[in-house]
Amino acid sequence: MAGPNRCLLWVAALCAALQGCAGVAISSGTYAVKASGREALLDAAEAGDAQAQYELGKSWCCMGPGFDTETATRWLCRAAAQGHGAALYELGRIYDGDVSRTPAPGQKLVRLLSAESSPAHALAFHRLAAQAGHEPAAQRLAQLDAAASSALRAEARALAADIGSHCEYRQVFADAPR
């Protein structure tokens, strides 16, 4: 290969390499921002403040260095138990396998392929969030509900009726690697 084609190939390779570096820098910066805010939220979250629990859960979500989906769901479940619509929606997203919070496309693909999912839990949490008035949850619920079998809908209704006993990540994915 010579001339313009070789130059384009070199530029494409350089851009791909820099994108990976930018993704690491963005992810590291995001973690630093999220981690620094956790201490400020902890007292309020432990005291039962649903908004603080939600924010703390989001700060731990979801995959990659410095993030922990188990810890995220623990805090999100506490807020969800108080009817916090956004926390219910985030849990629906997590159990729908939508755990990527990074702008780097390569990392997003790896996370998408490696994420656990539970369609019944996703449907249950989106339904609860929609009932709490969360509009994006209502939109996603319509999509999930249209694709769901009657058996899946029935399972999701049963889960929604007793969500506290199977809200946290380890309760849903007991066999997932730690």
Reported pTM: 0.74
Paired tokens of 12: 């494409």
Residue that the structure tokens 């019944």 belong to: 120
Distance from C-alpha of 90 to C-alpha of 88, rounded to nearest angstrom: 6
Residue 23 has pLDDT above 60, yes or no: no
Question: Could you tell me the domains of the chain?
Answer: 27-172 (1.25.40.10)
Paired tokens of 29: 């910066």
- In 10 A of CB 3, how many CB atoms? 7
pLDDT at 65: 64
Omega before residue 62 within 30° of 0, cis: yes
| CB of 79 closer than 8 Å to CB of 54 | yes
Residue 30 has pLDDT above 60, yes or no: no
Question: Helix %, strand %, coil % for the chain, to 5?
Answer: 75, 0, 25
**Which residues are CB-neighbours of 177 under 8 A, at least 6 positions away?**
none
- In 10 A of CB 23, how many CB atoms? 18
Quickly state the pLDDT bin for 163 (edges 50, 70, 90): confident
Residue 51 has pLDDT above 90, yes or no: yes
